[in-house]
Amino acid sequence: MYHYTVLSRYQSTAVSRLVSLYLCWLTHRLLCWYFPIKFTDKGSDMIYLIANTKGGVGKTTIAVHLAAWLAKKGKCLLIDADKQASAASWSSWRKDLDLKHNPRTMILLDDSVYKEGREFVREYDNTVIDAGGRDDPGMRYAMVLADKLIVPMSHSDLDTSAWSDMQKIIEMSKPSNPNLEVHVLLSRIDPRRRPPKDIYEFMAEQKTAIFKTIITERVIYVNSTNKGMTVFETEPDSPAAKDMKALFKELSHPIFLG
């Protein structure tokens, strides 16, 4: 009886996974049919998407810091494609502080990320999209719109396991956006540990680009974003601020600018 129960649960999980993958494939086939060619003359210099099917890897933290940094250089749009709307909350708190360099923020969900987003991005120099920590239509539509996909990943077996699902979704987006560039970013890494060489080796085997910069786990990120601020404004000389500066310097390198 015990073995039968375990087998039934395993079969149920396997069927659910197959159904999920089929629905994901079907959505992308419809997307390819509805949007056969990625639009040109988008206006925005660069559209960055911060996404991962796994939550808790620091996506919103990276997205709001990147948006605030880009806002120093010109007009920046921050699209919150997550139903939790954490990035939008950060932006709202920021407005109350009357700080400089504020990205324009809007919430766009599901197909609105593409249908409405492609018109809005024309008015901005750069755009950052913060997607939810799950496989949903908003993230898939964002992959059609984006130029660069940054995938934050922590150092755990769960993260490497989730990466295989993310890879499948990325591949499904290629017919609609063949020029999408993908870069993995190690995030929320314990600063007391050595750099996770196994992740770099794993990504090399996967032939996936990975940033040299590592974003370590710091309480200051939570304290800063909960106030609508960035680490550049709360503690500009902190290790966290230095990590972010290193990431953005690396992101500005010609190899990443394309």
Tens digits of pLDDT across the chain (258 residues): 444 443 344 345 555 555 555 555 565 555 544 444 344 444 458 999 999 999 899 999 999 999 999 999 999 999 999 999 999 999 999 999 988 889 999 999 999 999 999 999 999 999 999 998 889 999 999 999 999 999 999 988 888 788 889 999 999 999 999 999 999 999 999 988 887 888 899 899 989 999 999 999 999 999 999 999 999 999 999 999 999 999 999 988 654 444
Q: Are residues 132 and 187 in the same domain?
A: yes
Residues 6 and 61 in one domain: no
Query: Domain check: are 25 and 53 in the same one?
Result: no
| Residue 257 located in a structural domain | no
**In this structure, are 116 and 51 located in the same domain?**
yes
Summarize pLDDT for 200-225 with one digit per residue, the tens.
Answer: 998 999 899 999 999 999 999 999 99
Pair 128, 200 in one domain = yes
Q: What is the pLDDT of residue 35?
A: 45
Of the candidates 204, 182, 224, the one whose C-alpha atom is nearest the C-alpha of residue 62 is 224
Exposure of 234 by Cβ count < 10 A (0-12 exposed, 13-18 middle, 19+ buried)? middle
The pairing of beta strand 76-81 with beta strand 181-189: unpaired
Same domain? For 82 and 180 the reply is yes
Q: Which domain holds residue 98?
A: 41-251
Whether residue 26 is found in the same domain as residue 88: no
In a domain, 226, yes or no: yes
Structural domains counted in the chain: 2
In this structure, the answer to whether residues 13 and 80 fall within a common structural domain is no
Assigned domain for 123 exists: yes
CA distance 160 to 199: 8
Q: Which residue has the tokens 């009886």?
A: 1
The pLDDT, as a whole number, for residue 24 is: 54
- Residue 197, amino acid: K
Which pTM value belongs to this model?
A: 0.82
Tell me: the pLDDT tens digits for 123-173? 999 999 999 888 999 999 999 999 999 999 998 888 878 888 999 999 999
Same domain for 53 and 73, yes or no, is: yes
**CB neighbour list of residue 197: distance below 8 Å, 6 or more residues apart:** none
Domain-located, residue 256:
no
- Whether 10 is covered by a domain: the verdict is yes
